[in-house]
Amino acid sequence: MGRPKDSDRRDVRALILEQAKKLFYEQGYGQITIRKIAREIGYSPAAIYLYFQNKDEILYELHNEGFRLLYEYKMRVISDGVEGPEDRLNKGGLMYINFALDNPEYYEVMFNMPEPRDFMDRQQKSGDVGERVDYAMLSYRFLREGVQGLLDAGHFPGVDVDTAAFAFWAFVHGLVSLIIRKRIPYPQAPTRELAHQVMEFFMFSMAQRIKAAVSD
């Protein structure tokens, strides 16, 4: 709002992303327009194009930022010192849910908008990739390693690690997606507690399965 002070300008690119995110949060993705972002940061629409190739690149950056943040959430599992494959998986799921419900708009760009992926694909085709940390990949690996831990401990014998990991992921993704999209079959408003509760039910069942398998 209004022209930023010189000191704020240092990283106009960051400023743009910040405002894009804010607009996203406050008004939904249909409202991210170049003009609005420009107005918000006190620059002209044309200025945006000095920092981004086009609108899709902005969404792509938000998409990346989202995955970075998701990874940050997941790392709390480690910083909190959670031990044991089961607890780590459970805690990882809770963190995933928290991230999604804390940042529904990020979640949308990450999983429900085609543009960022389109941009990515185009970049890759033109060989213009650059060296970035792939946080989406890191997040998946973190999950996969957790699941591998279970398998190593003898659980789910004969099950492919990717298949099992995919199942875990599908579950939490479905859970938060339905909540964010307001498709839950409860009359009340969706809450984090509800999500955690459903998650517990899932994990508890799995845990039992694990125990059951082990006790055989």
Partner DNA sequence: AATGAATGAGAGTTCATTCAT
Partner DNA sequence: AATGAATGAACTCTCATTCAT
**Contact residues for its own copies, defined by CB under 8 A:** 28, 30, 111-112, 114, 117, 140, 144, 156, 159, 162-167, 169-175, 177-178, 181-186, 194, 197-198, 201-202, 205-206, 208-209, 211-213
Cα–Cα distance list, 129 to 51, 120, 124 (Å): 17, 8, 6
Cα–Cα distance list, 46 to 33, 51, 121, 203 (Å): 12, 10, 25, 51
- Which of its own copies, DNA, none does 213 bind, CB closer than 5 to 8 A by kind? its own copies
CA dist 168 and 144 (Å) reads 10
The amino acid that residue 148 corresponds to is Q
Q: Pick the binder of DNA from 43, 73, 96, 106 (CB under 7 A).
A: 43
Nearest approach, Cβ of 54 to DNA (angstroms)? 3
- Which of its own copies, DNA, none does 43 bind, CB closer than 5 to 8 A by kind? DNA
Nearest approach, Cβ of 81 to its own copies (angstroms)? 27
CA dist 66 and 102 (Å) reads 11
The structure tokens 């060296």 sit at 131
The verdict on 210 binding DNA (CB under 7 A) reads: no
The amino acid that residue 198 corresponds to is V
Nearest approach, Cβ of 116 to DNA (angstroms)? 13
Phi and psi torsions of 128, nearest 5°: -95, 45
Site residues, DNA (CB under 7 A): 9, 12, 32-36, 42-50, 54-56
